[in-house]
Amino acid sequence: MEIEICTIGGYEQVGKNMTAVRIDNEVIIIDMGIYLPAIINYEGEDWHTLSANQMIDYGALPNDNIIKEWIRDVKAIILGHCHLDHIAGVPYLSAKYRAPIYGTPFTIEVLKTILDDENIILPNKMVAMLSGKKVKISKNIEFEFVNVTHSTLQTVMIAIHTLKGTILYANDFKLDNHPVLGKKPDYLKLKDIGKNGVLCLIVESLYAEKDMKTPSEKVARELLKDVLLGVDNKGKAIFVATFASHLARIRSAIDFGKSLNRRVVLLGRSMGKYVSSAEHVQLIEYSKEAQICGYSNQIKATLRDIDRNRGKYLVVCTGSQGEPSSILDKLINKQLPFRFKEGDHVIFSCKTIPSPLNITNRQALEDALKKEKVRLFLDIHQSGHAAREDLRDFINLVKPKNIIPAHGELHMEQALENLAKEMGYHDSQIHVMGNGKRLIL
């Protein structure tokens, strides 16, 4: 049996994730993401009109043309979680493979909303499965989902079991023992997989340089509570900016808004998409506790009322990265019927995704808000990604023979390489690949 791994995308940047694993003449594809900064920076009228190859040339999609000789051998497309840098390439790339798409119920539901929005019908069968479940692809390949924590719900690691050992894909996770929503990581399953032999671990390296353990989401909840309930905000507008997919953080904002006797409003089209997707698969019931405004007319009407009664509302919205056309961007550029006043609160319950464009956009937004004399509360957040000491514990738990650092820029992957060497791994066991490279195990 020969096993070959092709690191298609996400091995030189934060995003655009896509990996292919060939076991003899059968291929499994894991993730099909986009590179969000390329989309945000696109200067044309509508990037949706671009072909897949144009998006590849522009740097927005992983270049899967490098595995064109494997097209007919692909048996499954497997998605680890619902973030766009892992699934938003599916509408453009998956049809050519004619293979079923597997994901957790929430991930599949989010994917369906993306397809509906773009009026795309895929020939691929979509299969929703929960963590802990196994699927036999062929007599030589079986895979399973292993529950793990991240900054969205129903995130899983993907264990591909072969006769030579397991390929474990751990791209985007944290080891959170006190999650606000969902279960903690399935350590027993991971330990069991490690005992049975992990031939290769593909693991994120985003925060491999940070000498720490990533704090629990419970810590972020307390930080948000301290700002919302511990700072005088009487008569002031309150806007909490966070990722639309971060349903645990939105849960905390709803809870504290109710404590303040304020009406909670979730503003933004993407906010509405993620909440409705999670409600559809019965993970949450936020629409019973908060007003959800995803469409332009709803947003404008609600903002007019908030402008008149700013002390009666708490708004959770998009725009945490300063993205053009997000709610916060439109507010500060006076494209919506609300005006910030001196002393209003804007809480960034997030950190800036570390790409040059995001950093620039976010700084511009902060500067504009300061000119309006708004009170800013930054970094009211804890990451959804494993830091160096989490990665150390995780590698010790699953004991892989080989390690491929993923989901990061070169310096991040080299930090993970250095950690592995610290732990006793040899150069021949650590593979810093880059996009479009191949490794035969």
Q: How far is CA 343 from the centre of its chain?
A: 33
Does the structure show a pLDDT above 80 at 391? yes
Mean of pLDDT values over 92-106? 96
Report the pLDDT value the prediction gives residue 352, as an integer from 0 to 100: 76
Distance between CA atoms of 146 and 200, rounded to whole angstroms? Answer: 16
Q: How far apart are CA 406 and CA 347, in angstroms?
A: 31
Residues 6+ apart with CB under 8 A from 417: 405, 430, 432
What is the C-alpha radius of gyration for the chain, rounded to an integer number of angstroms? 22
Share of the chain above pLDDT 70, in %: 98
Instruction: Please list the residues that pair with 189 across neighbouring strands.
Output: none
**CA pseudo-torsion sign 171, 177, 180, 182:** positive
- DSSP per residue over 258-309, as a string? HHTT-EEEEESHHHHHHHHHHHHTTS--GGGTSEEE-SHHHHHHHHHHHHHS
Report pLDDT for 321: 83
Name the domain boundary from 357, 377, 397.
377
The verdict on 361 and 389 lying in the same domain is no
Question: Which residues lie across from 143 on neighbouring strands?
Answer: 135, 160
51 with 98, same domain: the answer is yes
- Tell me what the mean pLDDT of segment 422-437 comes to: 96
pLDDT at residue 419 greater than cutoff 90: yes
Based on the domain organization, do 255 and 393 belong to the same domain?
no
State the pLDDT confidence band at 350, using cuts at 50, 70 and 90.
Answer: confident
Pairing of strands 402-406, 18-23: unpaired
Same domain for 183 and 310, yes or no, is no
- 367 and 222 co-located in one domain: yes
Closest among 212, 222, 140 to 391, alpha carbons compared: 212
Helices (H), 76-213: 84-87, 90-93, 105-117, 187-196
Per residue in 305-345, pLDDT (tens digit) is: 999 999 999 999 988 887 888 899 899 999 999 999 999 99
Q: Looking at residue 45, what is its pLDDT? A: 59
Identify whether residues 75 and 17 lie together within a single domain: yes
Strand partners, 28: 21, 76
Shared domain for 244 and 260, answered yes or no, is yes
Strands 313-317 and 263-267, how do they pair? parallel
What pLDDT is attached to residue 282? 96
Q: Which residues pair with 376 in a beta bridge?
A: 346
117 and 146 housed in the same domain: yes
**Both 43 and 125 in a single domain?**
yes
Q: Are residues 332 and 412 in the same domain?
A: no
Claim to verify: residue 30 and residue 126 sit in the same structural domain: yes
pTM: 0.94
Same domain (yes/no): 228, 367: yes
Instruction: Provide the domain limits for residue 398.
Output: 3-213+384-440
